[in-house]
Amino acid sequence: MAYLALYRAFRPTSLDDVVRQEHIVTVLKNQIATGRIGHAYLFCGPRGTGKTSIAKIFAASINCETPINGSPCGKCAACKSLADPSNLDISEIDAASNNGVDEMRDLREKVQYPPVAGKYKVYIIDEVHMLSTGAFNALLKTLEEPPRHAVFILATTEAAKIPATILSRCMRFDFKLIPQSDLEDRLKYVLDSIGKTYDNEAVAAIARAGAGSVRDMLSIADTCVSYASGKLTYADVTSVLGSADFSGVAAFCAAALTGDASTAFEKAEAFLSAGKGVGTLVKDVMNFLNSCTVAKTCRDGKRILALPEESYKVVEEIARKTDGHRLLRATEIFAEVEQDLKYTASPRILFETAVLKASMPHTDYDIEALLARVAALEKRLENGDFTAPKVSEKLQNDGGRVERKEETAEAFAPPELDVPPDESETGGNVYFDSSFVPEKQQTAPTPPPAARPLKPAVSGDAKTTFGAFLRSLRKTGKNGVLFTICMDLDSAYEGDTFVLFTKSDTIYRSLVKPEHYALIVGAFEAIGVSESGFAVRLQGKPSDDFNQKLDEIKETFNGVKIEVK
């Protein structure tokens, strides 16, 4: 006898042998037990979930003289007669190849003839959604009022394509995908039955590849059994599936998730150069990212993934080091690639672009990329990456030369800020103050150092006055934002008035804010410069004295056009 594929050899022969679908099996058993058999049934659901198998079992059961728990006994005259291939009481029609009006008219004529061996004449129409509109119309009246001996069982994977007039005349049953645990149990039963030894990890990998379909799982298992001469291992399964090396995919995903773009790109090039298809590679990457998500969010991730011990440790370590926002963003990027591969003529370029996008969030400005960057900064803050000793600038007058020196954190008290400054206060520049740390990291404040005498300002020497002002502001102001802003100001003497200049309107508005200006006044008074002895100006903005003289000229020469340049 010719070899039978596993999914054919182990097709269920009774309702008790069906994998899951209890909600459907229970209804059918009760109908068989009570004799309340409908005239039209619609079985819809994903492929490989038992639609055709249950239809054949149900067709035999309603004709069986002594059904056992809703299943045919296989011993009565009706069961033996129906087992003969020449018997036409149970007809299976492929709607994909018999989808015309003529075929449905022929069926409508044949359905009038009574069954030969059993009580019912059953028509199983597979892939019924492939029927044309005319064929559906031809079937409609017969489906609504068939002869008493006729039963129609329609099976489809796309119930949305069936007209509502057909749906309303059928008893509908929705089949569900099979859980992985049940797939594993079924596969172990099959492998044990054929005498094939196996590793549990290999069985879990095949069941996971089946994606809820028993037929898909058994088809993959058939290939794996032929591939492995001895014990079926996890490595055998990955080789049959054509998956990329697990360690290589792990290294690639780790590089992409940590922002190591060069390493991620090199790994991707190595996979593609080795002949791996882009579609397969994207699928492997998404499976690994999904494994990281499971390991990061589920307490029993090890049981759910059913990976070998060493492989799961790798997944768990990468998941632990990866931020959730970044993991979600990378998964979405490669999910889009899987969808776009259907429409692109350059799959390699599409994949490489996704690799760079996933590993370089700082170049992307969508919300997920920004969240990933913020999360990375928060993590660095928690790890204390920003608590290194401060480097301050000490300005001294040394023959007209400004000398920059480093001082330790103990030299100056840190600015006392309650909240971090926003960009409006820094002129668009990013400023980070090491004194601002999360509440849980705050420690006892360091006692301020003993006050040192400040050098007084020297009238007419702008550099000396500016240096004395900065030292005074650092001592008296205790405001890191204001001190940072003032360090970039220009200064000069205009007569007896010491003037601070800036070209930025944002910085100017920040300096003249009441709370900042009061600190500036206090710093100048500490070095002997009164409030009337200094000024803060926006460079290019006319002084008040200039505006006053300009108004006098306009009043004197009334009627004369005066242009200011």
pLDDT digits (tens, 9 = 90+) for 469-485: 888 888 776 777 787 78
d(CA 178, CA 423): 55
pLDDT at 21 over 70: yes
**Residues contacting 386, CB < 8 A, separation 6+:** 380, 432, 434
Instruction: Calculate mean pLDDT across residues 294-316.
Output: 87
Confidence class for position 370, pLDDT limits 50, 70, 90? low
Domain 246-379 CATH class label: mainly alpha
Confidence class for position 397, pLDDT limits 50, 70, 90? very low
pLDDT of residue 162: 92
DSSP 341-409: TTT-S-HHHHHHHHHHHHH-GGG--SHHHHHHHHHHHHHHHHTTTT-SPP------EETTEE------G
Report angle CA 442, 444, 446 to the nearest 5 degrees.
Answer: 115
Domain map of the chain by residue range? 6-174, 180-241, 246-379, 397-440+455-544
pLDDT of residue 454: 45
pLDDT of residue 417: 41
Residue by residue, what is the 3-state secondary structure of 61-95? HHHCCCCECCECCCCCHHHHHHCCCCCCCEEEEEC
pLDDT at 134 over 80: yes
Instruction: Calculate mean pLDDT across residues 180-197.
Output: 92
More confident residue, 101 or 477: 101
d(CA 23, CA 30): 11
pLDDT of residue 493: 85
pLDDT at 411 over 60: no
pLDDT at 405 over 50: no
pLDDT at 361 over 90: no
β-strands 150-156, 90-94 pairing = unpaired
Least-confidence region, from 63-72, 335-344, 437-446:
437-446
Does the domain at 180-241 match CATH 1.10.260.40? Answer given as no
Which of 125, 147, 124 lies closest to 136 in space, CA to CA?
125
pLDDT of residue 438: 46
Instruction: Determine the topology of domain 6-174 in CATH.
Output: Rossmann fold (3.40.50)
d(CA 173, CA 175): 6
Percent of residues, the chain, with pLDDT higher than 70: 79
Instruction: Calculate mean pLDDT across residues 135-156.
Output: 90
pLDDT at 558 over 60: yes
106-123 residue pLDDT tens: 888 889 888 888 899 999
For the chain, the maximum distance between any two Cα atoms, rounded to a whole number of angstroms, is: 128
146-155 residue pLDDT tens: 899 999 999 9
Report residue 249 as tokens: 């995919």
Which of 314, 312, 307, 310 lies closest to 205 in space, CA to CA?
307
pLDDT of residue 1: 52
